[in-house]
Structure 1
Amino acid sequence: MSTLANQLAVAEREEIARAIRLLLARPLLTVAAEPAGFELVRRRHEPLAQWFDYTCGWSLVVEPRRGYARLTKVRANPDASRPARRVRSARAPFDRRRYVLLCVTAAELLSMPMTTIGMLADRVVQATAADRALAAFDPVNKPERMAFVDVLKLLESYDVLRAVDGTTETYVESAEAKVLYRVDTTLLMRLPAAPVGASRLAVPPDEVPARFEGLLMGLVRERRYGGAVFDGAADEAHSETATTDAQRNLRLRHSVLRRLFDDPVLYRADLADDELAYVTSLTGRQILRRSVEQAGFLLEERAEGFLLVDLDGLATDVRFPDDTSTARVAALLLLEPLCAAPAGMLPEQLTEAGADLLLRFPRWAKAYQSEDGAARLSEDAVRVLRDAGLARRAGDRVVACPAAYRYRLTETTSSDPEDRSERNRA
Structure 2
Amino acid sequence: MTQTPTARPAQPTLTAHRVAADVGPLELADYQKAVRLLLRHPLVTPIWPDAAALPLVRRWADRLRVDLPEVLGYRLVTSADTARLVRVQDELDATQPALTRAGRPFDRRRYAYLVLALAALGRSGTQITLSELAESVAADAARVDGLGMDTERKADRDAFVDAIAFLEARGALRTADGNAAAWAGDPEKAEALYDIDRGITGAVYQPNRVLQHLRSVTELLGDGKGGAARGVSGTSLSGNTQRRSAARRARRLVLEQPAVYYTDVEESLHGQLRGGALAEDLERLTGLVMERRAEGVALIDVSGRLSDARFPAGGTVAQAAVLLAAKIAEQVGKPGVARLPAASAAERLAAAAARIDGALPDRGGFQAVLDALAVDDLEGLGGLAAVGEQDLDAAEPAGARDGDGARETTYPFLPDAWLRAAMHRLAAEFGAGMSSDLRDDPDRLTAQAVVLLASFRLVAPVPGGVLALPLLGRYRSVTAQVKTRAPAIPKPTQPSLFETVSQTPAVEESTL
Report what 1:389 is aligned to.
457
Measure the CA separation in 2 of the matches of 1:285 and 1:152. 46
2:164 matches 1:171 = no
Report what 2:418 is aligned to.
349
2:14 matches 1:11 = no
Report what 1:375 is aligned to.
443
What's the secondary structure of 1:316's corresponding residue? Answer: coil
TM-score, normalized by length of structure 2? 0.69
Give the 5 Å matches for 1:19-30.
Answer: 19-30=34-45
Measure the CA separation in 2 of the matches of 1:352 and 1:311. 33
Report what 1:401 is aligned to.
469
Report what 2:50 is aligned to.
34
Of 96, 101, 117, the match for 2:130? 117
- Contact 1:74-1:194 at 8 Å conserved across structures: no
> Counterpart of 1:271 in structure 2: which amino acid?
V
Give the 5 Å matches for 1:40-55.
Answer: 40-55=56-71
Measure the CA separation in 2 of the matches of 1:159 and 1:354. 44
Give the 5 Å matches for 1:200-279.
Answer: 200-201=213-214, 215-225=216-226, 241-279=235-273
- Between 377-386 and 361-370, the greater mean CA deviation after superposition: 361-370
What's the secondary structure of 1:10's corresponding residue? Answer: coil
Q: 1:384 to 1:101 in 2, by over 3 A?
A: same
Q: 1:374 to 1:251 in 2, by over 3 A?
A: same
Superposition deviation, residue 53 in structure 1? 0.8
Report what 2:313 is aligned to.
322
Q: 1:412 to 1:178 in 2, by over 3 A?
A: same
- Between 17-26 and 309-318, the greater mean CA deviation after superposition: 309-318
Q: 1:195 to 1:299 in 2, by over 3 A?
A: same
Structure having the higher Rg: 2
> Counterpart of 1:402 in structure 2: which amino acid?
P
Report what 2:508 is aligned to.
none
Superposition deviation, residue 62 in structure 1? 2.7
2:323 matches 1:333 = yes
2:302 matches 1:290 = no
Superposition deviation, residue 391 in structure 1? 1.9
- Between 138-147 and 247-256, the greater mean CA deviation after superposition: 247-256
Measure the CA separation in 2 of the matches of 1:420 and 1:292. 33
Measure the CA separation in 2 of the matches of 1:245 and 1:294. 25
Superposition deviation, residue 310 in structure 1? 3.1
- Contact 1:410-1:424 at 8 Å conserved across structures: no
Superposition deviation, residue 274 in structure 1? 0.2
Measure the CA separation in 2 of the matches of 1:310 and 1:369. 31
Q: 1:329 to 1:166 in 2, by over 3 A?
A: farther
Superposition deviation, residue 241 in structure 1? 4.6
Measure the CA separation in 2 of the matches of 1:264 and 1:58. 19
Measure the CA separation in 2 of the matches of 1:272 and 1:235. 8
Report what 1:159 is aligned to.
171
- Contact 2:319-2:489 at 8 Å conserved across structures: no
Q: 1:301 to 1:260 in 2, by over 3 A?
A: same
- Contact 1:322-1:329 at 8 Å conserved across structures: yes
Percent of pairs with identical residues: 27
Of 96, 104, 111, the match for 2:108? 96
What's the secondary structure of 2:76's corresponding residue? Answer: strand
Measure the CA separation in 1 of the matches of 2:439 and 2:29. 49
Report what 1:127 is aligned to.
140
Total equivalences in the alignment: 388
Measure the CA separation in 1 of the matches of 2:207 and 2:183. 32
Bigger helix fraction: 1
Measure the CA separation in 2 of the matches of 1:419 and 1:130. 51
Measure the CA separation in 1 of the matches of 2:152 and 2:439. 32
- Between 155-164 and 189-198, the greater mean CA deviation after superposition: 189-198
Measure the CA separation in 2 of the matches of 1:126 and 1:339. 54
Superposition deviation, residue 156 in structure 1? 1.9
Superposition deviation, residue 8 in structure 1? 8.1
What's the secondary structure of 2:480's corresponding residue? Answer: strand
2:294 matches 1:303 = yes
- Contact 1:23-1:315 at 8 Å conserved across structures: no
Superposition deviation, residue 170 in structure 1? 1.5
Report what 2:99 is aligned to.
85
Superposition deviation, residue 304 in structure 1? 1.5
CA RMSD of aligned residues (A): 2.8
> Counterpart of 1:101 in structure 2: which amino acid?
Y
Superposition deviation, residue 57 in structure 1? 0.5
Q: After TM superposition, what 4+ stretches of structure 1 lie above 4 angstroms from structure 2? A: 233-236
Of 358, 362, 371, the match for 2:427? 358
Measure the CA separation in 2 of the matches of 1:14 and 1:409. 34
More contact order relative to length (CA 8 Å, sep ≥ 6): 2
> Counterpart of 2:182 in structure 1: which amino acid?
T
TM-score, normalized by length of structure 1? 0.82
- Contact 1:58-1:74 at 8 Å conserved across structures: yes
